[in-house]
Structure 1
Amino acid sequence: MATSFPVLCTRGSYYDVGYSVGSTFQSRIQTYIQKSFLLQDTLLPFYDSREGRDFVEAMLSMTEKNFPKYVDEVRGTAQGAGLPFETLFVNDLLMEIYFGYNQKTPQLTREDLGCSTVYINRPDVKVIGHNEDGEDIAKTFGYVVDATITGDDGVEEKFTSLCYPGGLPGVSIGYNHHGMAFSVNSLAGPTVGNTAPSDFVLRAVLRASSIDEVKDIVSNAGFGLSSGFNINVGSIVDTSTQWSVEVAPSVSESKVSIKEIHESDDPEESTYFHMNEFRHMGIEVETAARSRARFERAMSLPVPTCTRDVRNILGDIDNKTFPIFRTVRPTDEYATVCTGMFDLLDKRFDIYLDNPSKDTGPLLTFNMQCGA
């Protein structure tokens, strides 16, 4: 098991930051690409087909119009990592290809979705805890990027984000210099073609300074969204409310539902869980058994009232088939890569690489400061 998770602090243009990430983590990215069964068994073979090539080129054309700066960032990462741009761009189309457009691998189902989130919003405890689930090798080859992206008029973006090797920041756990904290859960649902890739929309969310700006970004008016997701949002500036943002794909403009978790002394009212199902948008889709099992187990445990309770829930392994804290097993190809804990009152972000219910403490701790 990996015992380290490197952090890169970098500053420059979008391309420069991407290049710095690619060149610094070249070995990690190349090894991950070679070993990832998602890429080697599904994404890249799909791209090698005529249908896949046409799809990726259409998505690239759309994304260059919608998010040209983030395409530059991917180009920089690919150049720095010594890999074809198309390889990393395809990696950023995971949700679209994996669940929507690759019909040659019928064994792939919505059961493969991952991530679990626990909220507490009490007067004295304001926590968002998140299990980041993915390929187990991401635990070995992942990294954190602390980036300041500069433009002609000064700072354009400043954020800290957990990253999958070669992938865009923003698709997992992170925060920005506006004091906004984010984590992401994949959502099963219909997939829409010829619209913006979800990873690029999530990358854009890292620049948000308020929940209103989050809503505006994910709505993506004029372009829409191709695959749905849930963003768990908190703020060290306005700690009175936390937000669960569900986004469903649609052409021209995404569908958005925001659930507010208000501060309360009532443990039931101050607690919320989100896994991989639409909870408040009213969309009925095929339920993933893994997600349902994690949700039901979390709901069966004592209502959490402190940070330790959240860690215990996210580290729970009572269900031997579909545990909340996931490890590779005959019933599951995926694992919990790490656990992120946002303490909004202490303005602190902790990353646990091991099971968070243990007393080993976080591997990494970041101080969340506005403007810093």
Structure 2
Amino acid sequence: MATSFPVLYTRGSHFDVGYSIGSTFQSRIQTYIQKSFLLQDTLLPFYDTREGRDFVEAMLSRTEKNFPKYLDEVRGQAQGAGLPFETLFVNDLLMEIYFYFSQKPPQATKEDLGCSTVYINRPDVKVIGHNEDGENLARTLGYVIDATITGDDGVEEKFTSLCYPGGLPGVSIGCNYHGMIFAVNALDGPTIDKAAAGDFVLRALLGASNIDEVKKVVSNVGFGVSSGFNINVGSIVDTSTQWSVEVAPNVFESKVSIKEIHESDDPEKSTYFHMNEYRHLDIEVETAERSRARFERALSLPVPTCAKDARNILGDTDNKTFPIYRTVSPSDDYATVCTGMFDLLNKRFDIYMDNPSSDTGPLLRFNMQCEA
């Protein structure tokens, strides 16, 4: 049973917050970089090639134009952690390099992409639950950031986000002071060159105050996005609707589809599931067997009508080869790092470090606020 997981409360400029994260979690970040099979077997060896250097330099040039303030966070974090900036920047290009542009066959494949999400939007229950699946190291080396950032332009960001060691906030589960909640699923789809890195687009989402801003951020006009993802979105301000936002790669402007999950007394209409496949954006992609198995298992279970039902689905291990709640096994290099439960009516964000269907309860609990 998990008994602790660190939370850092930090404020300052983008660089200052990055430095605070890096210096506070220096040991965790360095250990993750040293032990991560994603980094050590594929990402860093790719960067050591001429092709890899050219690719990373091109991505860096685009990011300098598109998201310079978030590069300041990476620079601060690298300095605080005592690591080269390039190492952490490469870490933020995981989806692009690991699954698509490296020539070395990866240990984990697109088939292993993770995360599962359950929506419930009833008049009396408004919940989004999410399994965050990733490298098992993140269970012991990850952390949560509660940050207040004031940039040179005077724009303030306040958010709470689960973070992978050395990575940008925003790529997993989190919420912000506009009352918006976000849970991200990687999508098995095409990846392209000459567009913005997906992790930086997701980092920018933490500043969005409504669904229109979410669409603007992920469209990223002028740069697009290089890798696809799904963002499961809710709001404690507008609880009548929840949103599934699917994004596909495109140069200059991303392809975006938004499905609305409206409040309903009908259990079938008030429930929605999303794993690692495109469900509503018109795109030709073969569905991964692991994602399909989790989706079909969720559909086979009783329709959820309360938070406990959602947790039971997210904790399900009936399919021993492709379970919804994942642990490292001979057939799976990834694991469920944690489960995030967003209760929009009660304005609560809970994080379960153990199987959420058990009676252990959440290890971390945050009160969501709207200060806008």
- Could you say which residue in structure 1 is the equivalent of 2:60? 60
- Could you say which residue in structure 1 is the equivalent of 2:242? 242
Tell me, in whole angstroms, the C-alpha distance in 1 between the residues paired with 2:40 and 2:203. 24
- Could you tell me how far 1:103 is from its partner in structure 2? 1.9
- Could you say which residue in structure 1 is the equivalent of 2:50? 50
- Could you tell me how far 1:330 is from its partner in structure 2? 0.7
Report the 3-state secondary structure (helix = DSSP H, G, I; strand = E; otherwise coil) of the residue aligned with 1:54: helix
Report the 3-state secondary structure (helix = DSSP H, G, I; strand = E; otherwise coil) of the residue aligned with 1:114: coil
Residues 1:83 and 2:117 aligned together: no
- Could you say which residue in structure 1 is the equivalent of 2:266? 266
2:91 alignment partner AA: N
- Could you tell me how far 1:188 is from its partner in structure 2? 0.9
| Bigger Cα displacement from structure 2, 144-153 vs 78-87 | 144-153
Contact 1:148/1:155, CA 8 A, preserved across alignment: no
Contact 1:2/1:140, CA 8 A, preserved across alignment: no
- Could you tell me how far 1:284 is from its partner in structure 2? 2.2
- Could you say which residue in structure 1 is the equivalent of 2:358? 358
TM-score calculated relative to the size of structure 2: 0.98
- Unpaired runs of 5+ residues, structure 1, are none
Report the 3-state secondary structure (helix = DSSP H, G, I; strand = E; otherwise coil) of the residue aligned with 1:27: helix
2:326 alignment partner AA: R
Tell me, in whole angstroms, the C-alpha distance in 1 between the residues paired with 2:347 and 2:64. 36
- Could you say which residue in structure 1 is the equivalent of 2:11? 11
Contact 2:133/2:334, CA 8 A, preserved across alignment: yes
Report the 3-state secondary structure (helix = DSSP H, G, I; strand = E; otherwise coil) of the residue aligned with 1:41: helix
Q: CA RMSD in A?
A: 1.1
2:56 alignment partner AA: V
- Could you tell me how far 1:286 is from its partner in structure 2? 1.9
Tell me, in whole angstroms, the C-alpha distance in 1 between the residues paired with 2:369 and 2:98. 37
- Could you say which residue in structure 1 is the equivalent of 2:215? 215
Residues 1:131 and 2:126 aligned together: no
Tell me, in whole angstroms, the C-alpha distance in 2 between the residues paired with 1:152 and 1:195. 26
1:232 alignment partner AA: N
- Could you say which residue in structure 2 is the equivalent of 1:161? 161
Tell me, in whole angstroms, the C-alpha distance in 2 between the residues paired with 1:153 and 1:131. 35
Tell me, in whole angstroms, the C-alpha distance in 1 between the residues paired with 2:67 and 2:150. 16
1:104 alignment partner AA: K
Report the 3-state secondary structure (helix = DSSP H, G, I; strand = E; otherwise coil) of the residue aligned with 1:341: strand
Tell me, in whole angstroms, the C-alpha distance in 2 between the residues paired with 1:109 and 1:135. 12
1:326 alignment partner AA: R
Residues 1:189 and 2:194 aligned together: no
Tell me, in whole angstroms, the C-alpha distance in 1 between the residues paired with 2:152 and 2:166. 27
Tell me, in whole angstroms, the C-alpha distance in 1 between the residues paired with 2:107 and 2:154. 48
Residues 1:344 and 2:355 aligned together: no
- Could you say which residue in structure 2 is the equivalent of 1:302? 302
- Could you tell me how far 1:109 is from its partner in structure 2? 2.7
- Could you say which residue in structure 2 is the equivalent of 1:24? 24
- Could you tell me how far 1:54 is from its partner in structure 2? 0.6
Tell me, in whole angstroms, the C-alpha distance in 2 between the residues paired with 1:246 and 1:155. 27
Report the 3-state secondary structure (helix = DSSP H, G, I; strand = E; otherwise coil) of the residue aligned with 2:23: helix
- Could you tell me how far 1:155 is from its partner in structure 2? 5.2
Tell me, in whole angstroms, the C-alpha distance in 1 between the residues paired with 2:139 and 2:175. 20
Deviations 1:169-205 (A, max 9, x none): 0000000000000000000111110110000000000
1:43 alignment partner AA: L
- Could you tell me how far 1:16 is from its partner in structure 2? 0.2
Report the 3-state secondary structure (helix = DSSP H, G, I; strand = E; otherwise coil) of the residue aligned with 2:51: helix
Q: Percent of pairs identical after alignment?
A: 84
Report the 3-state secondary structure (helix = DSSP H, G, I; strand = E; otherwise coil) of the residue aligned with 1:23: helix
Contact 2:184/2:232, CA 8 A, preserved across alignment: yes
Q: State how 1:196-207 maps to structure 2 within 5 Å.
A: 196-207=196-207
Deviations 1:41-78 (A, max 9, x none): 01101111111111001000000100000000000000
Contact 1:159/1:206, CA 8 A, preserved across alignment: yes
Report the 3-state secondary structure (helix = DSSP H, G, I; strand = E; otherwise coil) of the residue aligned with 1:178: coil
Tell me, in whole angstroms, the C-alpha distance in 1 between the residues paired with 2:223 and 2:44. 25
- Could you tell me how far 1:99 is from its partner in structure 2? 1.6
Tell me, in whole angstroms, the C-alpha distance in 1 between the residues paired with 2:224 and 2:294. 30
- Could you tell me how far 1:371 is from its partner in structure 2? 1.5
1:20 alignment partner AA: S
Deviations 1:255-275 (A, max 9, x none): 000000000000000000000
- Could you tell me how far 1:355 is from its partner in structure 2? 0.1
- Could you say which residue in structure 2 is the equivalent of 1:289? 289
